[in-house]
Amino acid sequence: MINSEGRVVMVSGANRGIGLAVAEQLHDDGYLLSLGARNTETLEKATERFDAERVLRSQFDATDRDSHEGWVKSTAERFRRIDAIVNNAGIASDATIEDDDEEAFDLLWEVNAKSPLRMIRLTLPYLKETGNGRIINVVSLSGKRVRNLYVAYNMSKFAAIGLTHSARRIGWEHGVRATAVCPAFVNTDLPGDSGNVSREDMTQPSDLAALISTLIALPNNAVVAELLVNYTLNETY
């Protein structure tokens, strides 16, 4: 396992849900953190117990290209290195093939696919320098199989899987390793009304965060390309 001391991890969407759980886990594991969120006031409040010397909080909007560049720049200026990026920020939609309004498709593509692409592109030079850089894309089992009609969401998540494997290839010789973390329902705001699935039965954000922390700490010769996480027994393809 790689020691966390001095390693800098960026986490998007860190003010709630999975992102906040990941930030909490990594903070307690001793990492230096650069946390991005659209609402910095909410982020500040949610992470107020964190050691101020080990945390940078930045405004980050997945639809704003300038905020990607600004966040990476401020992280590099503060910590002088970037060891890992956790692309967690994402949105959902119930848009189907029969919906003629493509705004939902465009927005999901921007947030769920292009935003992590930008973050990988911008952080890759720093990740290569470390010799053991890590890219964690929080995707979904909806990027592995289709069990509903929500084509916009499913397409964006399949794209995120492709992005992850492309990142694995381009960074491999430099020690950069990429993993797609693919959960089903997680007890956050994102699932909404999930029918017969209780919140207690869903995967808990803290458990997913523990898995992500482990992925970041694994050595270069023991890396997981895809991590499929489910709360129940069903198809993962």
Distance separating alpha carbons of residues 198 and 63, to the nearest angstrom: 32
**Exactly one of 31, 126, 150, 153 is catalytic; which is it?**
153
Phi, psi (rounded to 5 degrees) for 71 = -65, -45
In whole angstroms, give the CA distance from residue 86 to residue 178. 10
Nearest 5°: the CA angle 8, 9, 10 is: 125
- List strands edge to edge, sheet with 134-138: 55-59, 32-37, 8-12, 84-87, 134-138, 177-183, 226-229
**Catalytic: 237?**
no
Q: Residues in the chain, how many?
A: 237
Q: What is the DSSP string of 62-120?
A: TT-HHHHHHHHHHHHHHHS---EEEE---------TT----HHHHHHIIIIIIHHHHHH
Distance (Å) of CA 160 to CA 112, 135, 220:
7, 12, 22
Contact 127, 177 (CB under 8 A): no
Query: What does the block give as tokens for 237?
Result: 């393809």
- Give catalytic residue positions: 153
